[in-house]
Each structure stands twice: as structure tokens, then as C-alpha cells.
Chain A
Amino acid sequence: MNIQRRTFVQWAAMAAATAAARSSSAREASSAGLPDVAARPDDGTRWDKAPCRFCGTGCHVQVGVKGGKVVAIAADQQAEVNRGLLCVKGYHVGLALYGKDRLRTPLLRKGEKYEPISWDKALDIIAERVEKGPKGFAIYGSGQWTIPEGYAAQKFIKGGLSCNHIDPNARLCMASAVTGFLATYGVDEPAGCYDDLDECNVLILWGNNPAEMHPILFSRVLDRRARGDEIEIIDIGTRRTRSTAHAQHYLEMRPQTDLAIANGIAHLLIESGRYDKQFVEKHCAFRADSDPPSLPGQAIDFETYRKSLAEYTPARVEEISGIPQTQLRMLADRFADRKRRITSLWCMGMNQHTRGTAINTLVHGIHLLSGHFGRPGDAPTSLTGQPSACGTAREVGTLAHLLPGGRLVANADHRKQAEEIWNLPAGRVFDKPGYHTVAMWEKFCTPTKSGGDIHTIWVQVTNPGQTLPNRNKLFLASRSESDKFLIVSDVYPTATTRLADLILPSSMWVEKNGMFGNSERRTQQWFKQVDPPGDARDDCWQIIAAARRLYDRGFEGMKDKDGKFLFDVRAEDGKSIPVWNWKSYYDTNVDRHLFEEYRQFSRLKHKDLAPYDEYVKARGLRWPVVQQPDGSWRETRFRFSEFDDPYVEKGKEFDFYHSTTKDGRAQIWFRPYDAPPEMPDKEFPLWLCTGRVIEHWHTGTMTMRIEPLRRAMPTSYVEVHRDDAKQLGISDGEMVRIETRRGMLETRVWIDGRGAPPRGSIFVPFFDESQLINDLTLDAHDPFSKQPDFKKCAARIRRIAPASDAPASDGGQQATTSQPERG
């Protein structure tokens, strides 16, 4: 970079930093008169907006492109979510495109090697696998799909193959949040939004570590505190984290006992008469598990609810959870105080839980019971880990039981609606839910003759070879079945591509058009800004091209009821555009076509989306987005509250208009505490918890290729309590073997590291593909959400080498994974 250029870049950096400092101090995003990084003099860098590629926060960045490459990232001053700031991953996001080993051409397995093949041949192979038996063909995607990509995959499977075997890795991530919202309000996704973080007086973190996982949201809270706002942070968790350092109260609970704590709070509120009687009588009903268990459960009256809670006295809760009675009473006091505004945040700690649905409903219940709901700052809010877990997995409904817009495949009316929008013959959409994630992979790993009726899985935008629980059982076993075929679309080699039969190179992020939906119902849009490398192509194109290949080969499912192609795209003059040909794909905006079709579904359950072009103008809009008399489009910040939600009738104050009891009421559940399915014992005496770190995003396939991030956190590790380490004769930095009943892993010990697990507990992050902790985790899952529990299982550790023999800490670590030794 020459001096003149460097001076210019420094000027741009100062303009962005100054604007960020001012806009944050002013408590609002973007203001007229502030320096705008995208508006500075032309230096040949072209700037455009995009949401960040990584987590579900939904920060907007300005992407600087020069010479056909992304060369700079600036936080977007106009973005309400991040207000001109980015986290350590966010400002490196542009480098995610430039790892040296990007996949550039389709590859077909030949024995132990891969042979480059043409896209034409790859599409033939996909078509042949479908023709082998459409009911045994599955797609496994994620909340990293853009909205149009997920919608195309959804239509391909449910409208084209009539089999419903599509599920996202969001099943491993937030499925319990979905069932929690459904069971409580009858409709998915948070009622509140990030604005609650600007208004709350108390922030409760339920097994949540936003300082590392959602740092921009957490910094929003800390910044309020720095300005003098009184905000109390209460951290309820099983391990001290970076978030704990900012909390006034840390409540260390035993794993799984959050249910007892929630019931204990409700018990105290009721017994002291300090619940919000007026709100409850007017807007709530009571519910408990039915026999057999079902998501809607059964109605109970208030007295039954009160009696059910009776055993959760402070003394009993302390006995179960380890939380001192004084701390439980403190929590109840906070909820009893109507002058305060309380926001609860949670993410994987409550969702990756065999009682995930139950604890989700209980936390909603405390907020409803205490009336801490529906005012700015009073909200129970789940966060997501993926950029479009809400937009694609939940709203498009790329889950095995859903249709777009919150419709159900098991509901005849809903299937009919989908068939009408897709112009399909009646009966095309199959009436049975497909396999959820764990079942799908279990069937794929089971020999065909033994009932394993999934013969092919096409994976897009995710890495199940690293993220599935109990990996030996749910992933590796399939690789010894000769008639099982794994197709993987990805941007880099991963733990999944390495075992694939067919690898397809994909475009990523701003190499394609896209739309995401973040954790606060905000739908975001961006345009393609650079070309993908080599022969890499959009995932959406891959789906459409495969569909067209099937259509051309006479596969009836890829025709609508008039015989037209399922993904027929017409120009304004009515001529068909051959978007299945890559060279024609960007002759039109396929995203706009698909989104406008999908948008029709959004109006069926009050999740209204605006026209595509409204999102081009905005930094995202929160649904429902409703057109105003003057023609403008208005987003909704607080659902079910009369003052903001257009679907609440005037005079009602609150209306849960998708109530499962069809009376406008939300459900307050009683759910008992149950012991976890596996607990430490004599043989495996420790709790094992898994999770993430700030430097890496999920399985690290992108962030481990960003040199500064990789250097900052090069390998995985195990956090061990100092006293446990002493008892086991283990030193800091020493290599140890971790074992569970499912597998083993060798890794390095970190004592007094970033997190601090209590005695009897260890923690291992999952970003490092050289140390696959998911060989060890449990595949037991929640009965309603089917989400596995990655947060607790029984483990043991053994020392394997003295610290002095260990290699340097920044590389060369030889980690291994395999089946455990018994005994």
C-alpha cells in the first residue's frame, strides 16, 4: 500500500471511529451530519451494505470492494443493531472469503481420492440419487442458508419430492426456543427486540454468555452502564464466563436445575401474593404436561398450578440446584418489583437441554406471571447463534414438520395453502413430517436392510461431521454403508466434506445475493459484491439446477399442475429466464422472485414481510411489517402489545392472537424438574459442558482460516478447576485424555483460563476440527423439540504426558479422537 493510499485509509478509519463514538454516545444509530465511511471521496473502493456472515445478532457492515476483492470492513453507521460497532469476528468477516483452500470445482469420490468433475455431471449424479427413491432423499441445511436458499430447498423437498425430509442444524441450536414460544404463545419468535436492552433495569442471563457469543448486544448494555444508567446483571450459569465478570450477581447452579430455579421463583411470587394478578387473570391461562406428553399439554387451573409449585420451596430449590435461598429470594424480589424492567436472555444453555422446551416455557411463565412482559425492557428473549436461524430455519420453515410461514405439513388446510401458492396438484405435499435431524442421520447410518430408509443426504451450509452429537453413531457409521451417498455443498474442506461422496463448491456471503433474518425478527438484504472463486456457485442455484435436471429427465415432481417448471422465473415481458443455467442466473434477481413468492406465506400467521425493495432500502425491518395508509411500510418492535403491534385491537392492551386456547391468552406452564439422562458417577465422575469462544464462529471453518483469529485461539482445550486438577495430578498446559461412554479426546488443560468451571465440571469448545468433542457428547434429546443436549454428560479425564513434554501452545498439537476404552 503506498503512502497516499495509507493516508487515505487512515482518514477513513478515523471517520468511522469518530462516527461510532458519537452515535453510541447519542444512543442511536446514524445521525445526519456525522461522517459516513461510505460517503467519503472516491478512492476506487466501492461500498455497500451487508449483514455480518457470522452470528444471529444481525450486525450490518459496510463492505469495501476494490479490484474485485473485499478489502475493508466498516461497521454500518445506519444500522440500529450495532450502531457503528463490530466485534472481533465482525471486522474480520471479509477475510473469511480468502482462505487459500477454497473449494473451486465439483469433486467426486473415487476410492480414497477425489476426481474433479463438471457441474453437468454433478447434477446428473444428484438427479440419479433422487430417482433411486425420492422418499429416501434428504436435505440437511442450516440457519446459514439465506432466506431464498432455504425457501428453494424447502420447495424442492416438500413441493418437488413430496417427502418432507429436510431439517436444519438449527435443530441442534434453537429448536427448544421454537417449541417454547409455540407452547406459550402459539406462535414462534420473541415478542420483544433488542430495544429491550436499552430500557431494562435488570438483565438476567440464563445459561448465556453474551460477552463472548453476542458481544455487540452485551456492549450495548455495558455502554448504558458507562453512561450512568443503573442496570443490574444477574448471571445464572454452570460456569463463570466473561459475562460473569460484569454481573452483580452470579448464581452457580448444578446442570439441568434451571427448572427448579424457575419453579422456585414462581412459587415465591404466588405464595407472597406478589404476582401480577390483574395481568394473569386478563391475559393468561395455565397448562401442564398431558399424558401422553404433547406440545399443547393440558389445561389446569390456577389452584392446581399453585399446588404443583408448592414443593419448590427455597430450601428444596437450594437442595436441587445449589443456589442459596437468599439468591433465589433476590430473583423473586426482582420479578415482584413492577417498577423495574426485566429482560431475560438465553441461547444454547436453555436450548441444548433434554428439558429444553420445559425450561423455555418456564422462563416465559415467570415473565407472564409477574407482568414483566410487553413493555419496553420487559421481555423474555432467546438469541440465536446463526445469522438466519430465525429468517430461514424458523420463518421459511426448513424443519421436517413445517411449511413456510409457520404452517404445518400435518395440517390439511396448511398443505392446501402451500399447494395453491406453489400451483401444485392437490395432495402433492406429503402429510407426514419428515425426519428431524437426529432421526435423519440415524436412518442414514442404519443399513438399508435394517430400516435405514434415507439413502442420500445433501448437506448445504453446515458441517454435521463436526456438530452432530455422538458423532460415531450419527455420522461416521454411514460411511461404511456402500449404498449411502453423501453430497456436501460448502466453501472450504470440512470434517463433513472429507467424508463426502460428492463435494460441490459454493459461493459465500457477498459472493451472492442474499437475505437473513436475525434474532429480533429483522429481515435483512444484500447484493452480490464480488465473484466467487473458480467454479463455485450459489447454493440456491445448485438447488434450482438440480430441480431443472430432474424436470428435464421427466421427473413429475418438478412440474407444477400446469406442467411448468417448479422454479419458473419470468421476465417482465413474460419470457422464461433459464436461471438453471449459471450464465443466466444473474440475468435477473432470483432472490427477489423467490422472496415475493415466499412473502405470500408470511401473511398467513401475522409474520408479514414487506416487498423485497423495501429491504434494499433499509438495514432490515422487523416483522410483522404492515403497509400504512400513506403507502409506507411500518415494522413492529413489540408484538402482542397494543401500543405497537398492529394486530392487537384497540382497547385490549395485550392480545396473544395465536393463543393455543384461542382466547387471546398466553400459557403459563408448570413443568417439574427432572434429573438429566446421564449424570456423573463413579466411573465418569465429571460434568462435561461444550460451547463456543469469542474468536471462532461455530465449527471454525471460516474463522480458523482468518489468520488473526486463528492465532488468537489456535486450538481447543479443556477448562479444569484448579482443585480438580491438583487432585488428578494435572498441570496447566498438560495433555489429557477426556473420555465419556461414547468417545475420547486428547487435548490440553487450561486452568484459570477464560472460563472457570466449578469443581467436578469441565468445559471444551467445539470450534476445532482437530479435536472433535462431539465424539463424546450425548445424543439424548428433548421430546418436543428433538434438540440434543450438548451441555452436560458424564466424563472423566486422565493425564497422558507430563507438561514438560508437551508441544508449544500455538501449534503442533496432536489431538486424537476415537472410541473410549472401557473400565
Chain B
Amino acid sequence: MPTFGLVLALKGRSDEREQVLTWLRADPRVQLGPLEQHRLALVLDTQTANEEAAFIERCMLSGCVRQVDIAYANFEDLVAFATGEETPDEHPA
């Protein structure tokens, strides 16, 4: 399922930001990358299509994320499904 490289633009006080970071660290789908000034790079590895939308919405509702931008999306599993070409390792005989 899709894997995303996301950039979160953070806002708010440092203690508020820390709450978001704590929540993100606890999410097994998330790998945190470097924080460049107010911009945090992370990887979101989803299990189902459309999962990233709920993740982004949760980020926005946290009150400490000004914006979520997408830098990378790999959807080769979805393409395989769409074109009827699932790969053997996903569906072992």
C-alpha cells in the first residue's frame, strides 16, 4: 500500500510541538526525519488506500501543524491492483 514522504509545517509553542512529536513517535506507521527550522520530514507507511487522508486530517486537527505537504508517494501496489498485475510476494500461491 502507498508509502508517503511528508513535510509537516509546525506551529505553536515548543511544548505543544512536543505533544505532536510524541504522538507521531508512537505511531508505528511513522518514521520521523529531521526537523528543518519549523519543517518536519517524515515517512508514512500505510496499509490501506486513503489512510494518509485521515493521518493528514489528524495532524491538522492537532493545532500544532500549519500545513502538510507531500514530497513523495509510492503506489506501486495500487497500480498492480488497478491493472490486475498483483505481484507474487503480495499474494503467495
Q: Which residues in A have some Cβ–Cβ distance to B below 8 Å?
A: 1-2, 6, 9-10, 12-22, 24-25, 37, 64, 66-67, 69-75, 84-88, 90-92, 94-95, 98-100, 219, 222-223, 226-227, 707-708, 711-712
Taking a contact as CB atoms closer than 8 A, the residue among B52, B67, B72, B80 that contacts A17 in the complex is B72
Give the chain B neighbours of A15 by CB distance below 8 A. 5, 72
Smallest distance from the beta carbon of A230 to chain B beta carbons, Å?
Answer: 16
- CA gap between A88 and B53 in the complex, in Å: 9
A selection of 22 A-B contacts at a CB cut-off of 8 Å is A13-B4, A13-B5, A14-B5, A14-B33, A17-B5, A17-B43, A18-B34, A20-B5, A21-B71, A25-B37, A25-B38, A71-B79, A75-B71, A85-B70, A85-B71, A86-B69, A87-B70, A94-B75, A226-B38, A226-B67, A708-B2, A711-B50
Give the chain A neighbours of B42 by CB distance below 8 A. 14, 17
Known: A1-B89, A20-B7. A14 touches B41 (CB 8 A): yes
Give the chain B neighbours of A712 by CB distance below 8 A. 50, 53
Smallest distance from the beta carbon of B3 to chain A beta carbons, Å?
Answer: 5
- CA gap between A576 and B87 in the complex, in Å: 44
Answer whether residue B24 sits at the interface, using C-beta atoms and an 8 A cutoff: no
- Contact at B67–A16, with CB atoms within 8 Å? no
- Contact at B71–A10, with CB atoms within 8 Å? no
- CA gap between A88 and B69 in the complex, in Å: 8
Give the chain A neighbours of B93 by CB distance below 8 A. none
Smallest distance from the beta carbon of B78 to chain A beta carbons, Å?
Answer: 6
Per-position binary interface string of chain B over residues 49-76, scored 1 when its CB falls under 8 Å from any chain A CB and 0 otherwise: 1101100000000000011011111111
Give the chain B neighbours of A75 by CB distance below 8 A. 70-72
Taking a contact as CB atoms closer than 8 A, the residue among A95, A99, A711 that contacts B75 in the complex is A95
- Contact at B5–A74, with CB atoms within 8 Å? yes
- CA gap between A87 and B45 in the complex, in Å: 18
- CA gap between A20 and B38 in the complex, in Å: 12
Give the chain A neighbours of B50 by CB distance below 8 A. 707-708, 711-712
Answer whether residue B14 sits at the interface, using C-beta atoms and an 8 A cutoff: no
Give the chain A neighbours of B35 by CB distance below 8 A. 21
Give the chain A neighbours of B41 by CB distance below 8 A. 14, 17-18, 20-21
Give the dominant DSSP class at A's interface.
helix
Smallest distance from the beta carbon of B88 to chain A beta carbons, Å?
Answer: 9
- Contact at A219–B31, with CB atoms within 8 Å? no
Q: Which residues in B have some Cβ–Cβ distance to A below 8 Å?
A: 2-7, 9, 11, 31, 33-43, 45, 49-50, 52-53, 66-67, 69-80, 82-83, 85, 87, 89-90
- CA gap between A1 and B77 in the complex, in Å: 7
Give the chain A neighbours of B11 by CB distance below 8 A. 226
- Contact at A73–B73, with CB atoms within 8 Å? yes
Give the chain B neighbours of A84 by CB distance below 8 A. 71
- CA gap between A84 and B72 in the complex, in Å: 9
Give the chain A neighbours of B67 by CB distance below 8 A. 219, 222-223, 226
Q: In the A-B complex, list the 10 residue pairs whose CB atoms are closest, starting with the nearest.
A: A71-B76, A17-B5, A13-B5, A16-B72, A17-B41, A20-B71, A21-B39, A98-B82, A91-B73, A72-B74
With most chain B CB atoms within 10 A of its CB, the pick from A72, A708, A711, A712 is A708
Smallest distance from the beta carbon of A4 to chain B beta carbons, Å?
Answer: 10
- Contact at B3–A85, with CB atoms within 8 Å? no
- Contact at A227–B82, with CB atoms within 8 Å? no
Give the chain B neighbours of A37 by CB distance below 8 A. 72
- CA gap between A100 and B85 in the complex, in Å: 12
- Contact at B72–A13, with CB atoms within 8 Å? yes
